[in-house]
Amino acid sequence: MHVSVLASGSKGNSIFVEINNTLILVDAGISARRITNSLSDIGVDIRDIEGIVVTHEHRDHVSGLVTLCKKYGLPVYSRLATFKSMYCIDKLPLECLHPIKEKFAIGNLAVEAFNISHDAADPVGYSIKGRQQKCTVATDLGFVTSNVQEAIDNSDVLVLEANHDIDMLKNGDYPLALKRRIMGKQGHLSNSDAAWALVRMKKQHSYVFLAHMSEENNRPDIAKKTITDIMWQQGIKLGEDIDIKMAKQDEIVTMSADKKSS
């Protein structure tokens, strides 16, 4: 298994996942050129990608789709309501669009979409399973519902949102309405909420990317300290029970469930 977060944050999101020799992308919210170049940097040809699964229609998750579909004919999988709500839907080739329900397959992978709480048409996270390994992506969610918690259980690799520090957000310069949106049930996940999701997660050992971190209302050191402090208090040991890395907006971050990597 190979998972690389190509970009994560409000300026654009895309994740590369390879399991059992099937290569896919989760979201394409940066330019097609940047996605192609980033894949090349990790030794992957864009033409070997077998599909793109899209979590929701916001621009920072779909802005590269048009070029990727037109130039490379990549199939795109998402909920029908998500497709209908995309700003670029009239530019996407119909033959590339594959509406999904809960479960579907791409190559050797079984993919399961699970509902999340976010201010989008029909947003989802994804559990991506090979024969013996599982990668789960759960970002852009206001809170961790029971079905989200169940979906992240037993993940070998987990991409989990740690968007904001609550005190930084409350004391920051954002308008009150925006603060309420972010902290609301259809907003974004705080560091502490992410920590408790990890505490409750069922798994002997997991590799975790902390993702979609706010540039204005969070810092990597604060996020890591908040999350690791809560886990330590609950008896979870970093490096033994969970390995954590920070996903970044402008840098590829890679993790393998087979061995640690940079």
Tell me, what CATH number does 93's domain have? 3.60.15.10
Query: How many domains does the structure of the chain reveal?
Result: 1
- If we measure between CA atoms, which residue out of 246, 255, 257 comes closest to residue 222? 246
> What pLDDT is attached to residue 257?
61
In a domain, 256, yes or no: no
- Is 106 among the domain residues? yes
Domain range spanning residue 131? 2-251
pLDDT in tens, 186-204: 899 999 999 999 999 998 7
Beta strands across the sheet bearing 76-78: 97-99, 76-78, 52-53, 22-26, 14-19, 2-7, 253-255
Does the pLDDT at position 210 exceed 90? yes
pLDDT bin (cut points 50, 70, 90) of residue 258 is: low
Rounded CA gap, 132 and 161, in Å? Answer: 24
Among the ranges given (14-28, 206-220, 243-257), the one the predictor scored with the smallest mean pLDDT: 243-257
Q: How many residues does the chain have?
A: 262
Determine, yes or no, domain membership for 259: no
- The strands making up 157-161's β-sheet, listed across from edge to edge, are 103-106, 109-115, 124-129, 134-138, 157-161, 206-211, 242-246
Residue 262 lies inside a defined structural domain of this protein:
no
Residue 257 lies in a domain: no
**Tens digits of residue pLDDT in 15-59:** 999 999 999 999 999 999 999 999 999 999 999 999 999 999 999
Residue with tokens 């209908």: 84
In a domain, 260, yes or no: no
Residue 122 lies in a domain: yes
Q: Write out pLDDT tens, residues 148-182.
A: 999 999 999 999 999 999 999 999 999 999 999 99
**Distance in angstroms (rounded) separating the CA atoms of residues 192 and 164:** 9
**Per-residue pLDDT reduced to its tens digit, 89-118:** 999 999 999 999 999 999 999 999 999 999
261 is a domain residue: no
Mean pLDDT of the chain: 94
What's the pLDDT at 260?
41
- Closest by alpha carbon to 153, among 187, 103, 199? 199
